[in-house]
Structure 1
Amino acid sequence: MKTFNMEKQSKELFYECLKGINFVKSVDDVTGLYNSNVDTVFRIVFQKAKKPKYFLVETKINGQPRFTRQAVNQIMINLREMKEDSYGIFIAPFISPESADICKNNNIGYADFAGNCYISFSNVFIQKEGNPNPYKKEQDLKSLFSPKSERLLRVLLNSGSKEWKVADLSKAADISYGLVSKVKRNLMDREWVESETIGFQLVKPFELLNAWVENYTYRRNNVREYYSLLGISEIEAAIIASAQQTNIRVGLTGF
């Protein structure tokens, strides 16, 4: 659901993007004149142009890849139905590099409230990128990379392209159905997993791993400090031997 304030911000952002085009003669909101399924339709007249160009703008409160693809598909359907010369633009609070690629690959422009934008048609090219996400949902990331959620992520990463049902993954990761569904939805929004015939599977393991690295902190673990007069290789061998005797899985890193 979009709020009135967000639609207003979206229009203001669109006008701001147009400031990069110095031969715009006039801009009119003509949404009411068209039976369109996008949020806003603008008619723009350029200096020395024989005909105006129409901009179809779709706004969403979430710029994750799944929502971006939905918006792009919606825009493209309406572009095909438009008889006039037209161009589509997707607007969201923040558009990630992955979402930006979805737009570019479909010849759709985009803009976000962080200041990133891309408009490319005819002899017009505007691109601003690299601004970080000021609307980052920390809670989403915390839930995605929480200790319990990480059990699920490890199972997915270790199982390759295996298709999972919620119940089976819940059992394998030893977490609740509800948490599996929540993490699955979060991963689907980023298009890191896809729904299949009998379940869902991980399709972008490297993207998941990179995000995990960015959000990992060892400080969440219980840290204890020890010292030894043994060399590194001897310490490693002693730790491994002890782990094998006590049937504990270990990983050595940070030396």
Structure 2
Amino acid sequence: MPNEFFDQARQPLIEGFIESLQNATGVKVLHRRHAAGIDRGVDLLLTMDTPDGNWDVAVEIKRAVYPRDIRDALEALQRYGAENAEKRNATTIIPMVIAEKISQGAREELKNSGAGYYDASGSLYFRHERWLINIDRPAAASARKTQRVPLFSGAKEMVVHALLHSKGEWFTGLELAERSETSVFTVSSVLQELELREWVESEGSGRLLRRRLCRARDLLDAWAEAWQQRKENRSNWYFFSSNPRQLLENLARKAPKSSSASWAFTGAIAANYLSPLLTQVDLAELETLPGTQAQLADALGLKPAEKGNNVVLIERSGAGMLFRRHDPHSGAWLASEFIQYLDLQDGRGRNAELATQLRHDILKV
């Protein structure tokens, strides 16, 4: 059966490939055969007349190619080459992959595997014996626009948070669902999107399929950008502390001590506690579950203060409340280090410096 991508809509892509190949090499394509006219294995077979003899170019045609797609394409090309090399008059069968879009990561993998490629951007890589053509252009946008999965809201954001905490270790979808307190379906949709972005890589298949986050820096940067656009319910308060340098400790002494406490320090006061940089932090940010601000303010003995406040209460749920931990020395609950980092992106005071240090010393991303 002909490949689903080999149809009239793909004809311009094939013609562009043949034209680019002939213009770059000066060779002539004697004839072509499509999938229906080939015994088995590839979508298109070109026979080329070159000064070094006749060559066959075996072509796999795809819509878009990412690193995860390389294995199947290469296996088809290698299988065809092995089964047909002796049958063909040509001395060599050269493997090629052409697509509307081939990502940068996929291009590198094809090169490393000894295969050529062409995509709609006009990029062409062809290497054989003394021949080398390497035209590299940014990957073209897919001709068929797709809706990108929103990653930084709701349950999907919880998966993102758990991914960053995985520290580059291999995991199964079920393990990630448990860590993120979400469903396997939610995990799957997030991982599919991240694989398209090439931020996650995989190994194995079926029940043995495992993945790991390979570009944590890109994921954290994207989350930080989205985090700045979020709208949250915040309120300003004043807390009397005889020693401003002990603001975190003094608040922690009065805060609810439950093992399932619904609050945590975040932002500069928490980050500076974990990775000291500033002599003093004069504002304590505490995250708390929606609807619990008044209860927490009462427990802490806070007074409303639109001006001169030194405490901010922030209502949060979901990803923002994941991975909180209790610090036995201060008695404080601390937000996840990643949430602390995100809250430092507010441009206030020296928070940018503190964020850089926290990322280097604690997050190591």
Question: Please, what TM-score do these two structures have when normalized by structure 1?
Answer: 0.78
Please tell me the root mean square deviation across aligned C-alpha atoms, in Å.
Answer: 3.5
Correspondent of 1:88 among 95, 112, 126: 95
Q: What's the secondary structure of 1:139's corresponding residue?
A: coil
Q: Is the 8 A contact 1:95 1:112 kept in 2?
A: yes
- The unaligned stretches of length 5 or more in structure 1 are none
Q: 1:32-47 maps to which residues of 2 (within 5 A)?
A: 34-46=38-50
Partner of 1:217 in structure 2?
A: 226
Q: Is the 8 A contact 2:203 2:210 kept in 1?
A: yes
Aligned partners of 1:26, 1:120: CA distance in 2, in Å?
Answer: 17
Correspondent of 1:55 among 54, 57, 74: 57
Correspondent of 1:183 among 184, 190, 205: 190
Q: Is the 8 A contact 1:169 1:180 kept in 2?
A: yes
Q: Is the 8 A contact 2:125 2:135 kept in 1?
A: yes
The one-letter code matched in structure 2 to 1:116 is S
The one-letter code matched in structure 2 to 1:99 is A
Partner of 2:72 in structure 1?
A: 70
Q: What's the secondary structure of 1:143's corresponding residue?
A: coil
Q: 1:6-17 maps to which residues of 2 (within 5 A)?
A: 6-17=9-20
Closer, same or farther: CA 69–17 of 1 in aligned 2, 3 Å: farther
Aligned partners of 1:197, 1:40: CA distance in 2, in Å?
Answer: 30
The one-letter code matched in structure 2 to 1:62 is A
Q: Is the 8 A contact 2:33 2:45 kept in 1?
A: yes
Aligned-pair identity (%): 19
4-13 or 105-114, larger mean C-alpha shift: 4-13
Displacement of 1:128: 1.7
Q: What's the secondary structure of 1:62's corresponding residue?
A: strand
Q: Is the 8 A contact 2:123 2:137 kept in 1?
A: yes
Closer, same or farther: CA 212–14 of 1 in aligned 2, 3 Å: farther
Displacement of 1:239: 2.1
Partner of 1:155 in structure 2?
A: 162
Question: Please, what TM-score do these two structures have when normalized by structure 2?
Answer: 0.57
Closer, same or farther: CA 36–152 of 1 in aligned 2, 3 Å: same
Displacement of 1:217: 3.1
Displacement of 1:219: 4.5
Q: Is the 8 A contact 2:66 2:103 kept in 1?
A: yes
The one-letter code matched in structure 1 to 2:43 is D
98-107 or 178-187, larger mean C-alpha shift: 178-187
Aligned partners of 2:209, 2:38: CA distance in 1, in Å?
Answer: 39
Larger Rg over CA atoms: 2
Displacement of 1:157: 2.5
Aligned partners of 2:100, 2:160: CA distance in 1, in Å?
Answer: 27
Q: Is the 8 A contact 1:28 1:42 kept in 2?
A: yes
The one-letter code matched in structure 2 to 1:210 is D
Aligned partners of 2:186, 2:157: CA distance in 1, in Å?
Answer: 11
Q: What's the secondary structure of 1:236's corresponding residue?
A: coil
1:62-84 CA distances to partner (integer Å, 9 max, x unpaired)? 21111122112211221222223
Q: Is the 8 A contact 2:55 2:94 kept in 1?
A: yes
Q: What's the secondary structure of 1:133's corresponding residue?
A: coil
The one-letter code matched in structure 2 to 1:90 is V
The one-letter code matched in structure 2 to 1:103 is L
> Which structure features the higher share of strand residues?
2
Closer, same or farther: CA 29–169 of 1 in aligned 2, 3 Å: same
> Which structure features the higher share of helix residues?
1
The one-letter code matched in structure 2 to 1:64 is Y
The one-letter code matched in structure 1 to 2:82 is R
The one-letter code matched in structure 1 to 2:284 is I
80-89 or 93-102, larger mean C-alpha shift: 80-89
- The unaligned stretches of length 5 or more in structure 2 are 237-243, 245-267, 269-277, 287-310, 314-329, 352-365
The one-letter code matched in structure 1 to 2:201 is W
Displacement of 1:59: 0.8
Aligned partners of 1:212, 1:157: CA distance in 2, in Å?
Answer: 8
